[in-house]
Structure 1
């Protein structure tokens, strides 16, 4: 957000210099940007959330220690007292205009709810596995987020769902038979995405999209004929193009703060990287490497100017691709050097053409501005 404020400040200074706005309007714009930056980030809020997370973790660890010396009924009542105190106390703090501490109290209550599920299941030996307990915890946290319209509780529900996904994927891992893929997660992600609109939780939507890319990556790794990896790469490329050429309606619908191209580009890189593990020699290597490099260049040309994160992701992807080609072709240095030479020539020609086109475009815009 600070970089955004800095960029807007530079734009305002340029507008004043060019006579587009007066000094009074510029000052109003600067004050509005600064006020919104302060509201969007508060160090005190961050500390309150960290304290809540640590307190919740302490409760969970305390419960996991199994209080053998405390009567069962006392354990249950103590945990439910923490839950009630967290939710009721959070509501009281919210009414007293202490939103940061209110959200922190709700996070503690949600953590205690998860601990209560584990404690009761342990004490009374209920049938079931950890998967069902985590799903119950996620559902309860999501319902609390809806009722309280809480951004942090929505993020917590998504984090619990992501934890469930990782546990399911790791438990189902088998190099010989592939993965036991939890398809239920797609429905969970869709439901949580809808909830995030009600709770105005943009970070939750980012987490959900990233987890879906992880999910698709695991499915692609288990797919022997690479259908999912191809679908992930092509689908991400299509979404990237839509995000670039229809950015306003898509961002208005998904409300991702203009970061959909970044997510789509990441999905493309993941899909192509998985394909490269399958086609690591001959024509397959050349084709996948060429597509990867072409995708990186296209992403930089189409959206790199407006997204620093996308530029860094492109640089990381480019570095990964060079290292991968070097490792795969290590035994044939001459072929590796030839490939790098050809790639350098092609990229150099592309850079020359793009620079010439951009200069002409800027010249045409300047001429139209002078004529008007």
Structure 2
């Protein structure tokens, strides 16, 4: 979906051509609409540089670790963390949001390293999972205090590391609830509230992971996967509504939730539920619905001009076609013929649509 200013520009040219708006008003009208915020190269390099700076600080401390007494080591860790956090607060006070965001992200990374190094200083036997969770909570606290999307992203990453540490997958009702169940909704709220694309991507994947954990807790039953696919589809519909309301980066959730819904539906077809319970496949009925759903998502992505949804529809359609061909037991030559016919049909349909649009 094009940005608001781009759509107004296109419509304004049509209104001027139709005589509804004077041509000399065009510049004034467009000038009153703010440009959409974009991540330029300088800002992207600043983010990469900030992350590398945090890693460099940790590496420098580690390189000189053995030559310092214990108190000096601890003092260095506290000083570096306090300096980064204080610099982030100063940048926020001076209305420099990008610098504040990057500095708080560095502070969250330094704090995570400080937890492990502090345990090494005082010979404290620690739990890796607890250390990851503590780092994640501290990073989220810094994010909330300083409105830092970078620190929030770091916090979600460390929460995920804690969830994946010593995890017993598909262990039924005894599976321990991941902390991401609480962190992911907070991340989604902050991503939409602050308009952060990286945080939106990380949070969307975290939410899909939570759905996967629930499916594993229920011992991977096909009915559960279908139910979760419907929930993700409903979430995608809600994100699409926000996307139509011009909510910043809600389209990220729209794309990932759509991908999650199709993925869970595809997995459900290979679990015993539809037909014979002793069969590993759901049959051609599932493949037909999968094909139709993929085609619908592809059409929806083109209608909304949403690149991620369109790509999800294409990949899902390819997967559905391949699964159908495997079920039919076609050899490679027959499969190649089917794909050739589909490609020819797609090209002919595209040329006809382009020709009809040109004549119109």
TM-score range, shorter-chain basis?
A: 0.7 to 0.9
1:284 aligned counterpart, secondary structure: coil
Aligned residue runs from structure 1 range 125-140, under 5 A: 125-140=123-138
1-side partners of 2:234 and 2:194: how far apart? 29
Q: Which runs of 5+ in 2 are unaligned?
A: none
Write out per-residue CA displacement over residues 274-311 of structure 1, whole angstroms, 9 at most, x where no aligned residue.
22443697871312211211111222344531123211
Write out per-residue CA displacement over residues 105-162 of structure 1, whole angstroms, 9 at most, x where no aligned residue.
2222221111111101222233431111111111111111111122322233223323
Contact 1:230 1:275 in 2 (8 A): yes
Which residue in the other structure is 2:187 paired with? 192
2-side partners of 1:81 and 1:288: how far apart? 59
Which residue in the other structure is 2:15 paired with? 15
Scaled by the length of structure 2, the TM-score of the pair is 0.77
Is the aligned partner of 1:278 residue 2:277?
A: no
Q: Which runs of 5+ in 1 are unaligned?
A: 360-365, 367-372
Is the aligned partner of 1:318 residue 2:317?
A: yes
Which residue in the other structure is 1:263 paired with? 256
Structure 1 residues 251 and 162, CA gap change in structure 2 (3 angstroms): farther
When the two chains are superposed, the root-mean-square deviation of aligned CA atoms in Å is 4.1
Contact 1:217 1:270 in 2 (8 A): no
Using CA pairs under 8 Å that are at least 6 residues apart, name the structure with larger relative contact order, 1 or 2: 2
Q: CA deviation at 1:3?
A: 7.2
2-side partners of 1:2 and 1:302: how far apart? 15
Contact 2:211 2:228 in 1 (8 A): yes
Which residue in the other structure is 1:213 paired with? 208
Contact 2:130 2:162 in 1 (8 A): no
Q: CA deviation at 1:51?
A: 0.8
Scaled by the length of structure 1, the TM-score of the pair is 0.75
Contact 2:115 2:131 in 1 (8 A): yes
Count of residues paired in the alignment: 341
Is the aligned partner of 1:236 residue 2:232?
A: yes
2-side partners of 1:285 and 1:340: how far apart? 19
Pick which of 232-241 and 61-70 moved more: 61-70
2-side partners of 1:282 and 1:206: how far apart? 33
2-side partners of 1:3 and 1:79: how far apart? 45
Is the aligned partner of 1:108 residue 2:106?
A: yes
Q: CA deviation at 1:78?
A: 1.0
Write out per-residue CA displacement over residues 324-348 of structure 1, whole angstroms, 9 at most, x where no aligned residue.
334x3474449x76x969x96xx99
Structure 1 residues 155 and 241, CA gap change in structure 2 (3 angstroms): closer
Contact 2:295 2:317 in 1 (8 A): no
Which residue in the other structure is 1:74 paired with? 72
Aligned residue runs from structure 1 range 157-176, under 5 A: 157-165=155-163, 167-168=164-165, 171-172=166-167
Which residue in the other structure is 1:88 paired with? 86
2-side partners of 1:273 and 1:60: how far apart? 43
Task: Give the number of the structure whose residues are more often helix, by fraction.
Answer: 1
Q: 1:48 aligns with which of 43, 46, 49?
A: 46
Q: CA deviation at 1:194?
A: 4.1
1:237 aligned counterpart, secondary structure: helix
Is the aligned partner of 1:144 residue 2:142?
A: yes
1-side partners of 2:158 and 2:8: how far apart? 37
